[in-house]
Structure 1
Amino acid sequence: MPQEDKQVTLFIAGILAWFAVLMITHVKASFPFANGVYFTGFALFLTGFLAINFITKAKQAKRLSSVFILLQLMGFGFVFYTAQSSEGLILLVIFAGQLPFFLSQKQSIAVLLLINGICLFIFLLMWDRGFSSSSVAITLNLAFQCFALAVANIAVRESESRVALEQANAELMSTRSLLEQTSRQAERLKLSRDLHDICGHQLTGLLLNLEYLSKTLPTQHQQGVNETKQIAKDLLNDIRAVVKQNKASAQLDLNAAIDSLFAHLPHVNAEFTPRLAAPLLSVHHAEVLLRICQEAVSNALRYGSEKCLSISLFKGDNILLLEVSNPFKMRAHERVGSGLQNMHERAAELGGEVTIEQENSQWKVSVRLPYKEQHYD
């Protein structure tokens, strides 16, 4: 079943469960405004549930999602306290199905155990229910909650795997784009070298022979030899011009490689500006910048608060600049890892440097590489 269909199924199941609890529970509490608290609890729970499922930022921003999770928990508390029955615990099944999207499995289990422990305490000490009936009700509902938790956890893992596969495919396609360009340029350069070394050598020998003949043949044959010699000179000049043109056009379009990266990440909003005004002459520089860009995009998708990035690529006087920035909600030490170390090492190979900046909830990776407009490869 596709990931989107699974999420829709979980949503429909949550709505049906919420409606079922509303139909089978009744207000048993006798304090003033108990009815109002009861229906307010259902309203709060449904509001938090719908917000998490329909507000995009609620899924991406941890603080906002925490607010709506707590709103549901508050709503459950109102319903459970006023209904004073185990049927109200069914709302926790819906609640449990959302926890894996925001908490780890261990954290989710701890939260459910804590809430059910509080409910058991209320059953035994506040409502004076029997231990046997209370523990059975709590255990049975906790089993359903764990089942919902497991199903949602599978959906989350599949979603993460799909995103990772999508990202790996995008990196593969962008790398392939660069390799295709590199392969074409390598073939052209090889052909140019062969043309220059083989044909150029043969034509040079031919010119030397013609030069010798022009000095040894009778005068009446001089014109034909000179004309042949001129043709050989023109042909040699043409070959040299073709070789020079092929070398001059042996460039790599890094813009196309980065475009290929995001063409296979349809759920990512990327702004790519400014772009390189002209292709690069160096395979090594293009590959290093692409690899660093891939790693920066990977970090942004893994740790960023939103799936949006801003990329700029600029070639100045003797320098190449790459910047990748994205919103984030994490502290710096949580983002440092082998990926950033790889960036530094790749840039250092070409005498460049990578700097990391954090400002106004933006995480920015900047790369500076020394570069001269010449053929490095």
Structure 2
Amino acid sequence: MSIPRLSLGEWALIASGLLTVLVVAAVDYQVNNQWQLDRAIAFFAFMLCFTWFCLMADVESSLLAKGLVAFEVVSAFYLFAGYAFEPIMVLLVVSAGQMPYVAGRYNNLILIILNIPFFVYSQYFTESPLHLLSLVMFIGFQLFASSSSQARKEAKENKEQLEATNLKLHATQALLAQQSQQQERMRIARDLHDSIGHRLTALSLQLEHAKHAEPSDFQLWRDEIGQQIKETLGQLREIVKARRQQEAIDLVAVLDQLHKHLPENIELRYPASLALEAPELAEQMAFCLQEAISNALRHGAATRIEISCPSEQPFQLKVSDNGRSIQQWHAGSGLLGMRERLKEFGGTVELKPNSEGMDLHLITAKTL
């Protein structure tokens, strides 16, 4: 099991949950006034499932996470059935904080349903039935814990989405800056051709005509000036031709822009130059790099990301991180989007675990 990097607040929440279970166990022991091995095992199993769940990297798409929460509820009911002690219901409050991650929008309804067996058992199988007011109070605590977790979950998702959008905007900004420079160069080249080029062409024609019309004393002068003008005109055409050709787009400019807006503790390494002559491919590669960096931070909790170029002919990029190394994974929208971007260039996207985290290979079939 890969343990995610948790904040101090998240560790505090885990400690608070475990402390709550320990307090309930201590009170239960004082009330029963005797040591019961099965109840001790049930409390320990509840704390184990709770801790395991909190330390899981990906809980929303995991059947194991759902099983852990279900086992918590079973353990709580076993303890309640063994001795219908009202504080045992506090265990459901602890589990309620995990419900939004496994039950989604139905978590509040499931919490209310889970209280029914406790109430029915206390009414028909115990001498001290659970009061309806107490049940409502416990349900209120559970809904509060569930709603707090739901709000925290949504806030985290919104933050991650905002960070991903921010990186995408900066990548687009860097590409637009380079494209704007290219458009300005093309405008200058067009203006040079339309003004100076036409004038030099006219002057060359005039001198060509003057060679036959004027006295032969100026023949040498005319030949020399005519040759200079022709050479200048040839140079001008070469400049215009070079300027009209779209220059290579350097992906390093995009990475520089992204690097400026990453958290200070994130280390991003990349080559000094990653130039592509095909602007369409460069644009798609830039968005793929932005998505790869975003995924490494959001899903892998990486602190170091390294980008390398294993091959230029054909062009390939490799993105390695030190985040969570996931042996079994499913392609999400980000990975599918990268594959769609490179598909028209005959490219592929491969994701593999490494010794520290994950390796993402962006491969194109074109030789640039």
TM-score by length of 2: 0.71
C-alpha deviation, 1:331, in angstroms: 4.8
State yes or no: 1:205 paired with 2:202: yes
Output the CA distance in 2 between the equivalents of 1:33 and 1:13.
Answer: 25
Output the CA distance in 2 between the equivalents of 1:250 and 1:161.
Answer: 38
How many residue pairs align between the two structures? 353
Q: Is the 8 A contact 1:276 1:315 kept in 2?
A: no
Q: Which runs of 5+ in 1 are unaligned?
A: 373-377
Change (3 A) 1:338 1:97: closer
Aligned to 2:344: 349
Q: Select the residue among 155, 168, 171 that pairs with 2:168.
A: 171
C-alpha deviation, 1:202, in angstroms: 2.0
State yes or no: 1:288 paired with 2:291: no
Letter of the structure 2 residue corresponding to residue 92 of structure 1: L
Q: Select the residue among 128, 133, 136 that pairs with 1:136.
A: 133
Q: Is the 8 A contact 2:309 2:317 kept in 1?
A: yes
Report the more deviating stretch, 178-187 or 230-239.
230-239
State yes or no: 1:27 paired with 2:30: yes
Change (3 A) 1:210 1:278: farther
C-alpha deviation, 1:27, in angstroms: 1.9
Q: Is the 8 A contact 1:170 1:262 kept in 2?
A: no
Report the more deviating stretch, 276-285 or 117-126.
117-126
Change (3 A) 1:286 1:20: same
> What is the identity percentage for the equivalent residue pairs of Structure 1 and Structure 2?
25
Change (3 A) 1:288 1:113: same
Change (3 A) 1:242 1:311: same
Q: Is the 8 A contact 2:250 2:273 kept in 1?
A: no
Q: Is the 8 A contact 2:295 2:334 kept in 1?
A: no
Task: Spell out, residue by residue over 1:330-372, the C-alpha distance to the aligned partner (whole angstroms, 9 max, x if none).
Answer: 554xx266962x544433433x132545567957454314133
Report the more deviating stretch, 152-161 or 246-255.
246-255
C-alpha deviation, 1:83, in angstroms: 8.1
Change (3 A) 1:347 1:114: same
Q: Is the 8 A contact 1:321 1:368 kept in 2?
A: yes
TM-score by length of 1: 0.69
C-alpha deviation, 1:270, in angstroms: 7.0
Output the CA distance in 2 between the equivalents of 1:115 and 1:292.
Answer: 45
Pairing of 1:1-377 with structure 2 (within 5 A): 27-32=30-35, 37=40, 41=43, 45=47, 58=55, 60-62=57-59, 85-100=85-100, 102-106=101-105, 108-109=107-108, 112-113=111-112, 116-120=115-119, 123-124=122-123, 127-130=126-129, 133-222=130-219, 224-226=221-223, 228-229=225-226, 231-233=228-230, 235-240=232-237, 242-243=239-240, 246=243, 250-261=247-258, 263-266=260-263, 275=271, 277-296=273-292, 304=299, 306-307=301-302, 311-317=307-313, 319-324=314-319, 327-328=325-326, 330-332=328-330, 335=331, 340=336, 342-350=337-345, 352-356=346-350, 364=360, 366-372=362-368
Q: Which runs of 5+ in 2 are unaligned?
A: 1-6
Output the CA distance in 2 between the equivalents of 1:10 and 1:278.
Answer: 45
Aligned to 1:375: none
C-alpha deviation, 1:267, in angstroms: 8.9
Output the CA distance in 2 between the equivalents of 1:67 and 1:211.
Answer: 93
The root-mean-square deviation of aligned C-alpha atoms, in Å, is 4.7
